């Protein structure tokens, strides 16, 4: 049975890579193989305000560099 849990918090672009690396390492551990195809989904609201960037392109550039 699929289960969905929604978490709501702001992650700055520079923190995404370390978080993803931690998740990736954990799902490789014995007993967690069912999560190996894990995907992070983002629902974004007020991103321009939270990142303090001027344009959408500037926001996306910050997220792509990490």
Residue 65 has pLDDT above 60, yes or no: no
Average pLDDT over residues 33-41: 80
How many contiguous H segments (helices) and E segments (strands) does the chain have? 3, 0
**Dist CA 37 CA 50 (whole Å):** 29
pTM over 0.75? The answer is no
User: Cα 49 vs. chain centroid, distance in angstroms?
Assistant: 18
Confidence grade of residue 6 (pLDDT, cut at 50, 70, 90): confident
């Amino acid at each position: 049975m699929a289960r969905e849990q929604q978490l709501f918090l702001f992650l700055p672009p520079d923190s995404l890579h370390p978080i993803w690396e931690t998740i990736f390492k954990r799902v490789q551990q014995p007993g967690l193989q069912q999560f190996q195809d894990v995907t992070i989904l983002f629902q974004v609201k007020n991103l321009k305000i939270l990142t303090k960037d001027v344009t959408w392109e500037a926001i996306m550039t910050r997220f792509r560099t990490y």
